[in-house]
Amino acid sequence: MGLLLHAEGNGASTSQRLVKSFAPATGELLGEIHAATRDEAHAVVERARRAQAAWGVLPIEERCERLLRLRDALVDRVEEIVEVISKECGKPRGEALTQEVTVTVDLLTYYCKNAPRILAPRDIGLHLLKHKASAVHYAPRGVVGIISPWNFPFVIPMGDAVAALVAGNAVVIKPSEVTPLTIAKAKEIWDSTGLPEDLFGVVYGFGEAGQALIESGIQKLVFTGAVDTGKRVAAACGANLVPCVMELGGKAPLIACADCDVERTARAIVFGGFVNAGQVCISVERVYAHETIHDKLLSRVRDLTKELRVGNPEGDGVDVGAIIFPKQIEIAEKHIQDAVSKGAEIVTGGKRRPDGQFFEPTVLANCNHSMTVMKQEIFGPVVPIQKVSSEEEAIRLANDSHLGLNAYVFTKDRAKGKRIAARIDAGNVVINDVLLNYAAAEAPFGGVKQSGYGRIHGEDALREMCETRQVLSSRVPEPSKDPFWFPYSGKSYRWQLRALRALFSRGPLLERLGKLL
């Protein structure tokens, strides 16, 4: 690629900071984009606000119909998108296709089909004010800001954007400074659809650009990123009273029960631990294996891990691609050193590769909670395994974490799986599978504890993209004066007292009605 793209084509000067995109697999400079200044970021939001004014008043069916043009364009140009994601992230093309584009297109399809029902005004029966009718209406908020990370540079911002747009908002995306070209491609495709260009704004840049977005007068923010950044972003949202969704880090435990299908569990651990080179917020980040199946599971995980082909994802037959930048390799190395110094055994892997920004898929055995690898997010291709003597112990250890995004339980007894799921502190618990919950468009996704708050996907997240407006009206002809209005009197006070006692005392209805007299 190597081209210089201008953010929003607004003539930013070359003396400004540049966002540079490098291919992690080769080190090649793929492109550079000017980082937006604060004023430029605010101008993008202002244009988005003007575009939203016309978009938000369209009937929802019309908005959905028009947004299907985006789906058509994404499907037509899917291989361009896959190529840029794969290059910019160093991930295999199949992962870019299925986990990013397919999930986005499916979410768009789901929302376009169901939004008219989900966002239809809802009548609410009032139990006390029976003479009134109440309905909740869902109105667009305005401009929704989206700040996103590098590990899924397409599906994360595009999924949030789709929900916001269907609900009648404009969006302004601040993509990660590490992977700006993926959203540049999405923007190019958006602009080709004939949909209003300013409705889909992009602000390229670093943390300051994200900060400028939060302070630009947006009506909501969806943030996805690290816990520490999330705390700063949530504070800035608080200072500006911007409602926000926080999608932060994860430390997904996988509990392998004594009665699990060992082959499926081993394959799930290897896929869930090493997909996207482990750089996934819902990766399998720690395994608790029951002692009766531990050795068999460990040896199968080791053998399957050794079969993985690591390298430049442009080549055919690569399972595990590159690590996004050197610091992420150093984090993995530190965890491994700490674990080994405390008695962990490297079963396979354990080293960076000499031929580029790659790390050998690593399995650690004999792990315990004194090790950072079991407690802190790794975000790399390292799977630590701890032997446990009971499911109780596994549940206790799974909950011994400041994070709570995904969790996994493997057992042939589904009822038991559900009982265990009910006791795990996580936003999402998956039984006998890994990662797949993110692809369930209808189901809410998000974390508890320091993994964040708020949800994306599903009905609630779509409604959350809206302001709720209650409309209260009368079901009967209104009198010229209500009994609670002015002027107050001792008589009306005493009547209200009797009414309270009649309504809220215990006992048979007739007896309570007697309190009115």
**Does residue 154 bind ligand NAD (CB under 6 A)?**
no
CB within 8 Å of 441: residues ≥ 6 apart? 106, 107, 109, 110, 111, 457, 458
Smaller CB separation from ligand NAD, 362 or 450: 450
Identify the residue among 40, 177, 198, 464 touching ligand NAD (CB under 6 A).
Answer: 177
Tokens of 512: 């309570």
Touching ligand NAD, residues 403-432 (CB under 6 A): 405
**Does residue 176 bind ligand NAD (CB under 6 A)?**
yes
User: 40, 247, 285, 377: which is the annotated catalytic residue?
Assistant: 247
The dihedral sign for the CA sequence 103, 104, 107, 113: negative
CB under 6 A: which stretch of 97-105, 169-177, 458-466, 480-488 binds ligand NAD? 169-177
CB under 6 A: which stretch of 35-43, 171-179, 190-198, 294-302 binds ligand NAD? 171-179
Beta pairing class for 253-256 and 244-247: unpaired
User: 89, 281, 367, 466: which is the annotated catalytic residue?
Assistant: 281
Identify the residue among 145, 249, 361, 384 touching ligand NAD (CB under 6 A).
Answer: 249
Binding mask 253-292 for ligand NAD (x = CB under 6 A): ----------------------------x-----------
Secondary element (H or E) of residue 30: strand 29-34
| Cβ neighbour number for residue 53 with a 10 Å cutoff | 11
Touching ligand NAD, residues 92-151 (CB under 6 A): 147-151
Strand partners for 119: none
Secondary element (H or E) of residue 350: none
**Residue 416 CA from chain centroid, whole number:** 28
Smaller CB separation from ligand NAD, 174 or 300: 174
Identify the residue among 42, 47, 141, 174 touching ligand NAD (CB under 6 A).
Answer: 174
Identify the residue among 56, 92, 196, 225 touching ligand NAD (CB under 6 A).
Answer: 225
With the CA atoms of 160, 165, 171 and 174 taken in that order, what torsion angle do they form, in degrees rounded to the nearest 10?
20
Identify the residue among 52, 229, 312, 411 touching ligand NAD (CB under 6 A).
Answer: 229
Q: Cα–Cα distances in Å, from 196 out to 49, 50, 69, 492?
A: 12, 10, 12, 58
Smaller CB separation from ligand NAD, 42 or 174: 174
Residues 361 and 274: their CA atoms lie apart, in Å, by 7
Smaller CB separation from ligand NAD, 366 or 376: 376
CB of 224 to ligand NAD, least distance (A): 5
Smaller CB separation from ligand NAD, 148 or 193: 148
Q: What is the length of the chain? A: 517
With the CA atoms of 173, 178, 183 and 188 taken in that order, what torsion angle do they form, in degrees rounded to the nearest 10?
120
CB under 6 A: which stretch of 70-78, 96-104, 224-232, 383-391 binds ligand NAD? 224-232
| Cβ neighbour number for residue 109 with a 10 Å cutoff | 16
Tokens of 265: 């569990």
CB under 6 A: which stretch of 113-121, 173-181, 264-272, 311-319 binds ligand NAD? 173-181
Size of site (CB under 6 A) for ligand NAD:
30
Binding mask 346-385 for ligand NAD (x = CB under 6 A): -------------------------------x-x------
Phi, psi of 199 (to 5 degrees): -70, -25
CB of 299 to ligand NAD, least distance (A): 30
CB under 6 A: which stretch of 220-228, 264-272, 302-310, 345-353 binds ligand NAD? 220-228
Q: Cα–Cα distances in Å, from 69 out to 75, 143, 205, 298, 366?
A: 10, 21, 28, 48, 53
Beta pairing class for 18-22 and 29-34: antiparallel
> SS3 of 34, please?
strand
Smaller CB separation from ligand NAD, 196 or 452: 452
Smaller CB separation from ligand NAD, 106 or 259: 106
**Does residue 22 bind ligand NAD (CB under 6 A)?**
no
Strand partners for 358: none
Q: What share of the chain is helix, strand, coil (3-state, %, to 5)?
A: 45, 20, 35
Identify the residue among 247, 285, 391, 464 touching ligand NAD (CB under 6 A).
Answer: 247
CB of 132 to ligand NAD, least distance (A): 41
Residues 441 and 437: their CA atoms lie apart, in Å, by 9
Tokens of 92: 């295999």
Q: Which residue is nearest to ligand NAD (CB)?
A: 210
**Does residue 63 bind ligand NAD (CB under 6 A)?**
no
Smaller CB separation from ligand NAD, 236 or 293: 236
Residue (of 121, 106, 212, 171) closest to 465 by Cα position: 171
CB of 43 to ligand NAD, least distance (A): 18
Tokens of 439: 């692809």
Amino acid occupying residue 171: V
Largest CA distance in the chain: 90
**Does residue 224 bind ligand NAD (CB under 6 A)?**
yes
**Does residue 233 bind ligand NAD (CB under 6 A)?**
yes
Q: Name the residue with tokens 């984090």.
A: 331
> Is 281 tagged catalytic?
yes
Smaller CB separation from ligand NAD, 1 or 226: 226
Active site residues: 247, 281
User: Which residues of the chain form contacts with ligand NAD (CB under 6 A)?
Assistant: 147-152, 156, 174, 176-177, 206-207, 210-211, 224-226, 229, 232-233, 247-250, 281, 377, 379, 405, 447, 452
